[in-house]
Amino acid sequence: MTTWPTGVPGLAWGADYNPEQWPEEVWAEDVELMRRAGVNLVSVGIFSWALLETSEGEYAFEWLDRVLDLLHEGGIRVDLATATASPPPWLTTAYPDVLPVRADGVRFTHGSRQEYCPSSPVYRAKAVALATRLAERYRDHPALAAWHVGNEYGCHVARCYCDRCAEAFRRWLQRKHGDLDTLNEAWATAFWSQHYSAWDQVLPPRVTPTFGNPGHLLDFDRFCSDALLELYVAERDALRGITPDVPITTNFMVGWTFDALDYWSWAREVDFVSNDHYTRSESDDRHVELAMAADLTRGLAGGKPWLLMEHSTSAVNWQPRNIAKQPGELRRNSFAHTARGADGTLFFQWRQSRAGAERFHSAMVPHAGTETKVYREVCEVGAEYARASELVGSTVDAAVAVVYDYQSRWLSGQQAHPTADFSYQDTVFALYRQLWDAGVTVDFLPPDGDFSPYELVVVPALYAVTDADAQRLADYVDGGGHVLVTYLSGVADERGHVRLGGYPGAFRDLLGVWTEEFFPLRENEHVTLDDGGVAGVWTELLHPRGAEVVASYADGPLPGVPAVTRNRHGGGTAWYLACGLGGDGLRRVVDAALEHAGVPSAPGVEIVRRRGRLDGEAVSWLVAVNHSAVAAEVAAAGVELLTGARVDGPWVVPAGAVAVLREMV
C-alpha cells in the first residue's frame, strides 16, 4: 500500500489549485510561477463538480486534461480531488432531498457549498460515479500522485436531521444496541417519560423545548461522524478498485473549533493523514495552538508523516477580523508543522481569487502579484524546503503523551452540566501550553492508546471512559508510569452514565481520592491555593483516600480542602488536579510532574527533534522556530541545513527565524 503522494521529491510544497476560476491563458503563467516558488504538489478540482459534470451524466474532462498535462510538463505532482465537496445546482434542483436539513427543520438550499445530506442515496451514487469516472480517466496520468476525497467532511454541515437521516440513525442504533430495551437503558429513557416502545418513535435530536437526552445526543454525534465516514469510504473504495497504488486521503480539520468528527476512527481509513489548519489570527498564542494541532494530527497519523493540506500564507477571510501574517510568520508556521511531523505544507490556495466568497483570503500569489511580501516569502520557503528535504520520513521524539477523546469532548460540551464555563479544548490547551513552554514535545493518544513508551501521560477531562481503558491507565501506573489527571475525568462510562460512589468515578482508586460534590465557581470568580496558585471555573469537595495533598484552597467555597493531590500507585504516581488551575500554579504542577517523571524541560526557543536515517545511518535533526523578537542560543553541534553553516557550540537562532540542524551524533 502506498502511503504518501507518489513522486514528490522531498518535502511537499504547494496549494489548492483552482484553475477553473481563471482564463486558460493564466494557466501557463501559473505553472511558471509555481516552478519559481518550488511548488511540487497541488490539489486540483476540489470544487469542480459543476464544471466536470455539466448536467446529469454529461462529463467535461477536457479542461482538466489540459491542466494536468501542463502541471506534469512543469514537473508538478497532483493530489487529484474527487470533486464531490459541493454538489452542482443541477443536482440539488433535480433531487431536492439531497439538500440537508437543520435541527429546526429548515432545508438548506444551494448557493454556497457542501449542501448535501450524508444519508442521501442520490448524492452518494452521484459522488461515487464521479469519483469512478475520474479514476478511470486519470488512472495512468503521469501527474497523479494521490487522491483527495471530498473536502473537509462536516465543515459546514456535520449533522443533518432529515427523515432519511432519521431512518439511517435508527439502523445505526439497531446495529449498536440490538434492541430497544438496550437503547432505553443506555439513554436512561425512564427519565422525563422518554421510553421508546417502537423504533419509528426514535428521531434525530431535533429542536425540543429544553435539554435533550444526553445519551440520544451522544449517539447522534457518533452516528453523524460515522455517516460521513461511510460516504468517504464509498468513494475511497471506488478509487481503490481502479487505482490500488494511488494513496487516498481526505483533509481533516484538527484545530480549535471543529469537533464534529471522531478523527481517531477516521484516521484508520486514510492511506495518509492530511490536515487543514488556520491560526486564530487575533490570538497571541496562535503558534502554540498550531503546535497542539500539529501534534494531535501526528497522533492521528500514528506517528507517521502527515501532510498539512491547507494553511494560509497570510490573512483568512472568515474570522471576525482577519489579521495579516507578520513577515516570517508564513515560514515559522510552515516549519512548525514540519518540525511536528508534516512532510509537506500546502496552502489554500495558489492564486488569490478575484471574485467569489473567498476573494479576500490570502494565497501564494496575491491580488497584488509577485512583487510582494507573500510571494517572495513563498519562494524563499519553497527553496528552504528543498534544502531540508532529508527530513522526509523521519519521526518525532516525545516522552510525554496527552490523551485526547472526542467522545469526552462531545459529552462534556453538552448543556445542563455543572458549569457553562468549562471547555474541553481550553482544558487540554492550558496543559499543552505549560508543556510547550517547558519545551516538552508531546504525542497525542486516544484513550485506548499504548501508554507504555511514555514517562508521563496527561489526562485532561477524560469525562467518559470505559472500564477497560481506566484499567489500562491504572496498569500503566502500576508498572511505573506517571499520570496527571484533571477534574471531570472518569466521571461517566461510555454511555455517559455517571459512575456512582463519588467522583472521579473510574479513577478514584488510581488517584487515591474521592469527591463528594462539585463546587463550580461563579463567572470570573477565582480562588487561591495555599501555594499561591489561582484557580477559576472549577473546584470540588475532595477527600484524600491514600493520596498526599500537594496544595489546598486558601479561600473560596472550600478553604482547607485539597486542590492538587499525588498518589503512589504500584510503581508509579498519579497526580490529580481537582480545579481549574491556571498560570504559575498550573506551571508548578506540570513542572513537578515532569520532574518526578524524569522528563527534562528545555524552555526557550521552540525545538523539536526528529529522528531517521540518512545513507543508512541513524540521524537526528533539531528543528528550531524562534517566535520571539530576540535571538536564541542553543548548545548544539551539526550542520544547519537552510544556510549550510557548521555549528559547534552555541547555535544561534535569530529572532523570528527558523533553522534545521542535522545533529552530529
Tell which one of 147, 264, 306, 348 touches ligand GAL (CB under 6 A). Answer: 348
Judged by CB under 6 A, the residue of 285, 358, 493, 509 near ligand GAL is 358
Q: Give residue number: closest CB to ligand GAL.
A: 348
Please report whether residue 276 would count as binding ligand GAL according to CB under 6 A: yes
* Strands annotated E in 461-605: 482-486, 513-518, 526-528, 534-536, 540-544, 548-552, 562-569, 572-577, 580-581
Q: How far apart are CA 623 and CA 610, in angstroms?
A: 8
Residue 58 annotated to the active site: no
Dihedrals φ, ψ of 332, to 5°? Answer: -60, -45
Q: Does 465 bind ligand GAL (CB under 6 A)?
A: no
Among 49, 187, 278, 404, binds ligand GAL (CB under 6 A): 278
Q: Exposed, middle or buried by CB within 10 Å (0-12, 13-18, 19+), for 112?
A: exposed
Residue 348 or 350: which CB sits closer to ligand GAL?
Answer: 348
Least gap, CB of 307 to ligand GAL (angstroms):
14
Binding range to ligand GAL, per CB under 6 A, among 148-156, 185-193, 363-371, 503-511: 148-156
Decide: is 71 part of the binding site for ligand GAL (CB under 6 A).
Answer: no
Q: Is 152 in the site for ligand GAL (CB under 6 A)?
A: yes
Neighbours of 106 (CB within 10 A): 10
Question: Which of 73, 66, 4 is closest to 34 using CA atoms?
Answer: 73
10 Å CB burial of residue 371 (0-12, 13-18, 19+) is exposed
Residue 37 · residue 374 · CB < 8 Å: no
Q: Which is nearer to ligand GAL, 43 or 119 (CB)?
A: 43
Q: Of the two residues 276 and 405, which places its CB atom closer to ligand GAL in the complex?
A: 276
Q: With contact defined as beta carbons under 8 Å apart, do 70 and 35 qualify?
A: no
Give me the helix-helix angle, 373-387 and 329-339, nearest 10°.
30
The residue type found at 95 is Y
351 is a contact residue toward ligand GAL (CB under 6 A): no
CA distances to 82, 93, 238, 500 from 147, rounded to whole Å, are 7, 28, 11, 49
Provide the mask over 302-331, with x wherever binding to ligand GAL is found by CB under 6 A and - wherever it is not: --------x-----x---------------
Compute how many residues bind ligand GAL; rule: CB under 6 A. 10
Distance (Å, whole) CA 644 – CA 267: 37
Query: Is 151 one of the binding residues for ligand GAL (CB under 6 A)?
Result: yes
Look up 310 and say whether it is catalytic.
yes
Q: State how beta strands 580-581 and 513-518 pair.
A: unpaired
Q: Which residues pair with 483 in a beta bridge?
A: 457, 574
Site string for ligand GAL, 30-69 (x = CB under 6 A): ----------------------------------------
Give me the catalytic one of 310, 384, 390, 606: 310
Q: How far is the CB of 362 from ligand GAL (least distance, A)?
A: 9
Q: Which amino acid is at 545?
A: R
Residue 450 is given by DSSP the state -
Query: Least separation, in Å, of the C-beta of 310 and ligand GAL?
Result: 6
Q: Pick the piece of the chain touching ligand GAL (CB under 6 A) from 33-41, 150-158, 289-297, 604-612.
A: 150-158
Contact positions vs ligand GAL (CB under 6 A): 151-152, 155, 276, 278, 310, 316, 348, 358, 361
| Residues identified as active-site | 152, 310
